[in-house]
Amino acid sequence: MSRARPILLLACLVLAGAGCSDARDDSGARTVEFWAMGREGELVKQLVPEFERRNLGIRVRVQQIPWSAAHEKLITALVGGTMPDAFQLGSTWVAELVALRALEPLDRPDDDRSTAARLGGDPSLDAAHGDGGAARDAVRADGGTPPDVTDGGVFPGIAAANVVDGTVFGVPWYVDTRLLFVRSDILEASGCTQPLRTWDAWLACMTRVHDGGRDRFAILLPLTEWETPVILALQRGATLLRDDDGRGDFQGSAFRTAFETYVGLFARGLAPRGGEAQASSLYQGFGEGLFSFVLTGPWNLAQFAARLPADLAGKWTTMPLPAPDDHYPGVSLAGGASLAVWRGSHVKHEARRWTAFLAEPEQQAALYRASGALPARRSAWRALGLDTAPGTRAFWVQLGNVRPPPRVPEWERIATLIGRRAEGVIRGEDTVDAALAALDEEADRILEKRRWLRTQHDTRDGTR
């Protein structure tokens, strides 16, 4: 790439530069096109002036994309060759975009900088550069200090979500995981005095809560979401896929046990089967004590505070997940948003500086203050005092034990089927055995192409 570049530029000059996509404006500044989703797109605009002040010669143009259309837009943009230079993405999309060869590997030294300097970019840019050493397991963005995973850096499970086949493709921006939101007053009234560190204690407590009132449930679990059964399965040690992610492993004992526990929550009346309708009145139901546990994510911290009646303040809290054994806290899902650079970008160097800037602890803290999105870096947590604050403290503990779901492009699709099959069993339309067998069959069919591609690669490598 670095060698092809001057030639390309020369061609641009010859062609008077007009239509060339080298993203320079009249003043010679290079423009980084950046896509951010939802509210982040709005908030990130406030961070642009500071970045541009520090990096003369780089402009950032932020495009706001609605979350609901983000995935489709990214892929259509990729097909149409109109990708932004840098963009935000859900960490579960990383594998898919890697398969599409859309993402620039970020653990290699940025070899673009000399070219950039030669082309009249601000030479002082390079002074701030870290050395080109490859800390492969650490998620490092170019420029600034490489975020260290072990201390003050990124939560390990979150970092792992951005690594595909040993290569880093995303810079963790903010994190997302699920844990329990709890009505502590009802728990106390129901006599749940022990800390809920194991499944046994948790189930016993939920039964007490359920028995404590007529028409009362213990926990609200969104019926169609795959996250809960998958979290329980991960806690049981399920790998979800087997054969090097070539087949489903849903009839394996780990997944089966977890799945039975999950549907058992509905069968025993601990969780309501009402489906989406209940979810739409989540805050009211929690406020009324219709259920005392909700398994949900950090976005609800602000929502609960804002939407629950004022007299409930101090009567609810958050709690890391119990474990099936004594390895508290039980594992949860590593999710969140990452920042990535398009492989075909002409301003990769600048795009990487921008993503590195956004990943700085101060900028993550700024994003938290504006939106409540939990920072990916531990130093930002400490700076904000989130590691000790009520509400977020449980997330701090939980994020110490999170794991990403399988990193294959097909995962989202398989995950959707898990949600669907679980829903079928909960509604009584299907048995556990039939549902799990069907899941394996569907997963095997979805992953067939993946297995075929692997044999193709093997034969190709064999002939060489």
Partner 1 sequence: MSAATTERQGRAAALLVSPALAAIVAFFFLPVVAALALSVTDFDIYALADLANLRFVGVRNYVRLAADPTFRTALWNTAFFVLVAAPLSIAVSLGAALLVDAKLARFPTFYRTVLFLPVVTTLVAAAVVWRYLYHPRFGLLNHALGVLGVAPIDWLGDPRWAMLAIVLMTVWKGFGFNMVVFVAGLRAIPPRLYEAASLDGAGTLATFRHVTLPLLAPTTTFVALMTVIGDFQLFSEPYVMTQGGPGDRTLSVVLLMYREGFRWWNLGTAAATAFVLFAIILALSALGLLVRRDDATDAGVAVGAHEAAHDGAHDGAHDDTRAGAPRAGEQA
Q: Which of residues 101-160 bind partner 1 (CB under 8 A)?
A: 101
Interaction of residue 429 with partner 1, rule CB under 8 A: yes
Site for partner 1 in 434-453 (CB under 8 A): 449, 452-453
For 292-308, the DSSP string reads SEEEE-THHHHHHHHHS
The nearer residue to partner 1, 84 or 322, going by C-beta atoms, is 84
Closest CA to 342 of 13, 15, 21, 14: 21
Residue span binding partner 1 (CB under 8 A) among the ranges 33-41, 74-82, 328-336, 400-408: 74-82
Which tokens sit at 156?
């390990």
Structure tokens at 2: 């670095």
Q: How far is the CB of 296 from partner 1 (least distance, A)?
A: 18
CA atoms of 7 and 22, how far apart (whole Å): 12
Number of residues that bind partner 1 (CB under 8 A): 31
| Cα–Cα distance for residue pair 143/350, rounded to 1 Å | 10
Label residue 20 exposed, middle or buried (CB < 10 Å: 0-12, 13-18, 19+).
Answer: middle
Determine the Cα–Cα distance for residues 50 and 28; give it in Å rounded to an integer. 19
C-alpha to C-alpha distance for 75 and 81, rounded to whole angstroms: 10
31 touches 60 (CB < 8 A): yes
- Identify the residue among 38, 246, 391, 424 touching partner 1 (CB under 8 A): 424
Per-residue binder mask for partner 1 (CB under 8 A), 268-307, x = binder: ------xxxxx-xx--x-----------------------
Which of 99, 204, 308, 383 binds partner 1 (CB under 8 A)? It is: 99
Q: Is the Cβ of residue 135 or residue 437 nearer to partner 1 in the bound state?
A: 437
CB of 272 to partner 1, least distance (A): 11
Is the distance from CB of 294 to CB of 218 less than 8 angstroms? no
CB of 413 to partner 1, least distance (A): 5
With vertex at residue 394, the alpha carbon angle to CA 266 and CA 237, rounded to the nearest 5 degrees, is 55
Using the contact rule CB under 8 A, the part of the chain among 125-133, 165-173, 305-313, 412-420 near partner 1 is 412-420
Dihedral-angle region of residue 196 (phi above 0 means left; psi in -120 to 50 means alpha; beta otherwise): beta
Do 51 and 58 touch, CB atoms closer than 8 A? Answer: yes
**Closest to partner 1 by CB, 278 or 332:** 278
> If binding is defined by CB under 8 A, does position 82 make contact with partner 1?
no
Taking the least distance from each CB to partner 1, the nearer of 226 and 357 is 226
Site for partner 1 contains 315 (CB under 8 A) = no
What mask of x and - would describe binding to partner 1 in positions 24 to 63, judged by CB under 8 A? ----------------------------------------
When asked if residue 75 is in the footprint of partner 1 (CB under 8 A), the reply is: yes
* Under 8 Å between Cβ of 331 and 403: yes
Residue 409 sits in the site that holds partner 1 (CB under 8 A): yes
**33, 40, 96, 227: which one binds partner 1 (CB under 8 A):** 96
Among candidate residues 205, 124, 156, 153, the one with its CA nearest the CA of residue 359: 153
The answer to whether residue 267 forms part of the interface with partner 1 (CB under 8 A) is no
Residues 204-223 that bind partner 1 (CB under 8 A): 223
Considering only 108, 327, 369, 427, the residue that binds partner 1 (CB under 8 A) is 427
Q: How far is the CB of 166 from partner 1 (least distance, A)?
A: 19
Question: Which of 100/308 has CB closer to partner 1?
Answer: 100
Q: Which of residues 219-248 bind partner 1 (CB under 8 A)?
A: 223-224
- Which of 142, 176, 225, 423 lies at the binding interface for partner 1 (CB under 8 A)? 423
d(CA 459, CA 313): 63
Closer residue to partner 1 (CB): 246 or 424: 424
Nearer to partner 1, 110 or 410 (CB): 410
Tokens 């739409």, residue located: 280
**Whether the Cβ atoms of residue 119 and residue 343 lie closer than 8 Å to each other:** no
What's the CA gap between 338 and 106, in Å, rounded?
A: 12
Stretch binding partner 1 (CB under 8 A), from 54-62, 190-198, 300-308, 407-415: 407-415
Cβ atoms within 10 Å, residue 104 = 22
Instruction: Rank residues 43 and 447 by Cβ distance to partner 1 and give the closer one.
Output: 447
Q: Which is nearer to partner 1, 223 or 399 (CB)?
A: 223
Closest CB to partner 1 among residues 16, 277: 277
Residue 213 CA to residue 316 CA, distance in Å, equals: 18
DSSP per-residue letters across 23-41? -B-TTS-EEEEEEEEHHHH
Closer Cβ to partner 1, 289 or 375, answer by number:
289
End-to-end, the C-alpha distance of the chain in Å comes to 25
Give whichever of 372 and 424 is closer to partner 1, judged by the CB atom.
424
- Could you write out the three-class secondary structure of 45-89? HHHHHHHHHHCCCEEEEEEEECHHHHHHHHHHHHHHCCCCCEEEE
Handedness of CA 166, 336, 382, 312 (dihedral sign): negative
Interface residues with partner 1 (CB under 8 A)?
Answer: 71-72, 75, 78-79, 96, 99-101, 223-224, 274-278, 280-281, 284, 409, 412-413, 420, 423-424, 427, 429, 449, 452-453, 456
